[in-house]
Structure 1
């Protein structure tokens, strides 16, 4: 399924038609035409009337301006009347409309009105884009760019370069897209167009994201967001938050991704922006599909399709259509999936959107393979690979390589399966290379730090201004003395606060880096990578053992061992990294039935306990509801942790007792094991991070020393208490206590 992070630039062609902004009604314009004394004045009024009118009245007004233009000698009005009529007529007959626009633009060129000529060519390019005639659009934008560069019209240079970048990006020509985008950024800067600079930073971020260069992409997104906030560009801010969601999803942080998508969706609905709402619904469906909630994904996709964007972005439909196809494959409804995928492919080809084409062909490959059409399946997958590799779409390439590997594995073609598995692993390692992710994470942290310092500087400036205004009201003879004293005091306090804050933040950042180094080493990428390698190698390894003929048997064994060790190390080091980075727990307290919650946690550990012949005694009366105000997600993590520890430190055949005790003021959850117990000395540091006990897990299970420190942090944040009662040789009891709701 394809995530959307395109910058939807909805160009207001009518602004160009109107020329000079006039907040007037149709009636007042008609009255003004009746009293106008010159043909040039009437031409301007008729063009404004065309802007205010709709349908046939719009075209009729433009025709009147055109007829009057025949009788004047001012090339500005002659060219404008022809170009505007041509633009409107292109809705009826593209070729005739473009021919008339050419006549108007040639008038501009012949009379040295180069800026208008460049703008006219750019508008022609946009019209061709609306008809999906991209080659003609590129030709017009290129001619606009040539005229603008020759005459140093920076705004027109930027507009044409930005449009060329957008088309190149959709076509998968990332090098050209980046070059044009950087040129547009520089030109917008020269023209002093800050809002457009932010939009271009966003486009550059999209290009870098597609290339897997997350730190560079994030840098441009953050710059774009700052500009959007400064210029109060709500539409731009929503799009940037969407793209931030895409990049965090690509980096494997689904929680942050969901947060950005949800915030942007709420703002899009509040501000009645259906195009942005459709985009965000599509991307949220992707998150739900990955989590296995296909029903929710289809619901979001249908809502996205229900939003009609045909007028403003006719190519958008391919994204939710492709998503529907992917979702129905997951449900096993292959005929429905094929219907949606073919519709998506038709639209994507017409719009020359290589991102959607790569995704559709990949899904068709999966679909045909499930229908036992193996040749059609591998042909579609290889077509997806060709498109994604040619366009440098690394994420799509990775996903397609994985599907090709699965295809050959089902065909028992071990040699080809191994070849594509290795390609998949190499590309995955390059995309999720530790330094790339770490740099992006550090960049975000530094950005927040700089933002806080800037806010402090702003507070200081506002305070200085306030004091200055107060001092100006005082008498002249006391002004200098009071001003010096107050400013000296204010400066000292401000510098002291700033110094303290900066030192505190520096220590915090250094601590975070040290902790990341301890936990992560030089890896920070997706834990699924080594697991995928193991899963992929196991069928090949089993076949090799059965036949005893596979020359790669030794290689399989080495790869399995390396991947297992790699996964074990990463799991040890990245456990609950979010709690360390955030330095806080974001709670959502709600009235929760502790009986139901505790029973759910016990049920989760039945299988694990049975593997060690350990029996979990459930002494909870589930018919009695016991309510406390807690965050259920965090509390179940704590109970899970206590049960996991009890199993780890218990010998085979032992028992674990879980009880829920209630009195007049509180509820108490108790987890009691028959393990080796904990000494009084060790209990003093039990809830500190990285605490290592003298007792060891009974089946060589791994323990990081983080679990109980995180549990203590969660319970404390929810206003509860966690206690330990234990003696060596007599087992251990943990109590979690919350007040009644």
Structure 2
């Protein structure tokens, strides 16, 4: 059910639009554009307004209007008009699921808006970008953008904007399975929308609350909210939300085993989605059909519908739906006795679920990128050569036309000889550089092959375990009995270890190839610590460990860092602290200032580190004597990567520890 919250996000975007605008109003705006020919700020605003209204009428007429608005605004230095047009264009690409293009457009709009200083544009771009980061599973970054947008909405007393942010923060809580807190945020949003009379927004909030009650398995309560939300959405004509709510009601009927009624609701949802070209809704309906027919025992219809859903999910790059479709196909093939196909789909499910990247593909991409850089330099040399030839041709023509001016002709000839000599020397230098670059590329390739060889031994062990355990299950004659289920559990654990190893190898490859791109900006370290602590809630609860965050004597904790890489370093160190901590102990995140230096401390009550281990602590592929308390695995790469990231940001990392006394890692940055 959580995946249907994504539809709620789409609804939140559409709620921004004025859904009550009819075709006559759009025609009126077009007449205004045709009657107003001046190329000024008024025309820019009318173009943007017309494009915005077209979201409820015809999406494909939007881009030409916005392209004219953006170009005109740029030509007359109208920053507000350019930022607004770029923001609306980002919304258009989001609606078409082109998320990377949408993110680039929101970022461009924010940069232009720094000059325009319009708070509504800034907050909208932050909120919309956060929705995409949520879709991509980057919850800390999504939460950061939501909070930044929320502060702007609150400062400007924008009640509808506050409501949208509350909804989005609630959805992140639900992804962390914190449904009760999610319901509280949705209830706050519902009351706010009722106070301002936002009817469509009220329907969205009711649907969101119903989805969280569904996750809590309180189906009757959930159904009450869905029915009320459906009535409102049908009244305002929000077809996207209608399709979503019909699917939600169908899922409740599915849980109650009322399969025929569930099919009726999924069919209505599919019809609505097809009528508006809503591919995400069509994808979800087909997958739900597959679930119903699997329960009914009609395996052919189950396969047909699930494969249709998988096709659409692949087209839209919906990772969650691709993963679920493969899992469902594995169940279907197992039910009909096609165990080989069931196994193949289960492998695909595991790969998508664990986000395992194919190392051969990564190497191929890296090779292509290197070849591209080489060809780019080669083409640059050829371009310079052609340019110089054009210069020579033009000069010779002028010499022929002005032959009577012997002195001038001689001077031009000497100049040309100098240019030719300079070009010859420059060409030789560039040729040497290209040759050197080619040798460096070969060296990098050898280093990557050596890296693969170094970890081959560690990788072969889990691979052999997977192959051995799989052989036991597949050769069994008695089906999946309890022992075989245990073996499948071992397969899953081993696969997770393999995934972790591969991720670390890719991190090392990026660092060693010097492809590390930093985005250094000033950030409040206390806010970053709070976000990191929030992301470990489920892990802490599972292991029974407390995590506290404390800021001591820090009035202004701003430092210039790359936020994404710093979060990765902190998450690695906190994860290690949790691994080596016993239940009922505490991990502390401390932030302090000393002179002009900000220091972060990650402190645990674990077994501590010996003096011998301290010497090799930040080396690559180093294993320590201490072992994680729950048998967690490690590639030995994490701390070496953390050290490189910190030093790349002009910081320092060190450790303080004694055996039996716990461990404290210290990260220091110059104060902003």
- Cα distance in 2, alignment partners of residues 202 and 152 from structure 1: 26
- Cα distance in 2, alignment partners of residues 216 and 170 from structure 1: 21
The equivalent position to 1:8 in structure 2, one of 13, 17, 24, is 13
Q: 1:5: how far off?
A: 1.8
Relative distance call for 1:407 and 1:287 in structure 2 (3 A) is: farther
* Mapping of residues 429-440 of structure 1, within 5 Å: 429-430=354-355
- Cα distance in 1, alignment partners of residues 201 and 537 from structure 2: 38
The equivalent position to 2:128 in structure 1, one of 192, 203, 210, is 203
* Mapping of residues 351-366 of structure 1, within 5 Å: 351-366=276-291
* Mapping of residues 506-525 of structure 1, within 5 Å: none
The equivalent position to 2:36 in structure 1, one of 102, 105, 108, is 108
Asked if the contact 2:354/2:496 (under 8 Å) is kept, the reply is: no
Asked if the contact 1:168/1:174 (under 8 Å) is kept, the reply is: yes
Relative distance call for 1:583 and 1:150 in structure 2 (3 A) is: closer
- 2:225 corresponds to 1:300: yes
Q: What secondary structure is seen at the aligned counterpart in 2 of 1:8?
A: helix
Relative distance call for 1:216 and 1:344 in structure 2 (3 A) is: same
* 1:339 aligned partner: 264
Asked if the contact 1:541/1:556 (under 8 Å) is kept, the reply is: no
Largest Rg, 1 or 2: 1
Uncovered stretches (5+) of structure 1, i.e. residues with no partner: 15-54, 56-86, 92-96, 432-533, 585-688, 692-702, 705-741
Q: 1:540: how far off?
A: 10
- Cα distance in 2, alignment partners of residues 572 and 239 from structure 1: 26
User: C-alpha deviations, 1:122-169, integer Å up to 9, x for none?
Assistant: 3333343212x2212334333333333333333332333233322322
- Cα distance in 2, alignment partners of residues 108 and 571 from structure 1: 58
The equivalent position to 2:489 in structure 1, one of 541, 551, 560, is 560
Asked if the contact 1:354/1:387 (under 8 Å) is kept, the reply is: yes
- Cα distance in 2, alignment partners of residues 411 and 88 from structure 1: 51
- Cα distance in 2, alignment partners of residues 416 and 107 from structure 1: 64
- 2:546 corresponds to 1:546: no
- 2:316 corresponds to 1:408: no
Q: 1:385: how far off?
A: 2.0
* Mapping of residues 377-526 of structure 1, within 5 Å: 377-430=302-355
* 1:121 aligned partner: 47
* 1:520 aligned partner: none
Q: CA RMSD in A?
A: 4.3
* 1:281 aligned partner: 206
Relative distance call for 1:152 and 1:383 in structure 2 (3 A) is: farther
- Cα distance in 2, alignment partners of residues 416 and 422 from structure 1: 10
* 1:669 aligned partner: none
Relative distance call for 1:318 and 1:158 in structure 2 (3 A) is: farther
Q: 1:203: how far off?
A: 0.5
User: C-alpha deviations, 1:422-470, integer Å up to 9, x for none?
Assistant: 2222222239xxxxxxxxxxxxxxxxxxxxxxxxxxxxxxxxxxxxxxx
Q: 1:201: how far off?
A: 0.6
Relative distance call for 1:690 and 1:203 in structure 2 (3 A) is: same
Count of residue correspondences: 404
* 2:187 aligned partner: 262
User: C-alpha deviations, 1:61-95, integer Å up to 9, x for none?
Assistant: xxxxxxxxxxxxxxxxxxxxxxxxxx97716xxxx
Asked if the contact 1:172/1:355 (under 8 Å) is kept, the reply is: no
Relative distance call for 1:308 and 1:558 in structure 2 (3 A) is: closer
The equivalent position to 2:90 in structure 1, one of 150, 165, 168, is 165
Relative distance call for 1:119 and 1:309 in structure 2 (3 A) is: farther
* 1:242 aligned partner: 167
Relative distance call for 1:267 and 1:414 in structure 2 (3 A) is: same
Asked if the contact 2:327/2:346 (under 8 Å) is kept, the reply is: yes
Q: What secondary structure is seen at the aligned counterpart in 2 of 1:267?
A: helix
- Cα distance in 2, alignment partners of residues 250 and 573 from structure 1: 14
Asked if the contact 1:174/1:392 (under 8 Å) is kept, the reply is: no
Relative distance call for 1:557 and 1:340 in structure 2 (3 A) is: closer
Asked if the contact 1:170/1:353 (under 8 Å) is kept, the reply is: no
Relative distance call for 1:375 and 1:165 in structure 2 (3 A) is: farther
- Cα distance in 2, alignment partners of residues 192 and 102 from structure 1: 29
The equivalent position to 1:90 in structure 2, one of 18, 24, 28, is 24
- Cα distance in 2, alignment partners of residues 286 and 425 from structure 1: 26
Q: 1:234: how far off?
A: 1.9
Relative distance call for 1:298 and 1:574 in structure 2 (3 A) is: same
Q: 1:546: how far off?
A: 0.9
Q: What secondary structure is seen at the aligned counterpart in 1 of 2:71?
A: helix
* Mapping of residues 156-195 of structure 1, within 5 Å: 156-195=81-120
Q: 1:363: how far off?
A: 0.7
* 2:76 aligned partner: 151
Q: 1:232: how far off?
A: 1.6
- Cα distance in 1, alignment partners of residues 171 and 471 from structure 2: 34
Relative distance call for 1:690 and 1:301 in structure 2 (3 A) is: farther
Q: What secondary structure is seen at the aligned counterpart in 1 of 2:9?
A: coil
Asked if the contact 2:84/2:121 (under 8 Å) is kept, the reply is: no
Uncovered stretches (5+) of structure 2, i.e. residues with no partner: 357-465, 498-535, 551-604, 608-628, 631-672
- 2:297 corresponds to 1:368: no
- Cα distance in 2, alignment partners of residues 88 and 372 from structure 1: 46
TM-score of the superposed pair, with normalisation by structure 2: 0.52
Q: 1:223: how far off?
A: 1.0
* 2:150 aligned partner: 225
Q: 1:226: how far off?
A: 1.6
The equivalent position to 2:141 in structure 1, one of 213, 216, 225, is 216
Q: 1:215: how far off?
A: 2.4
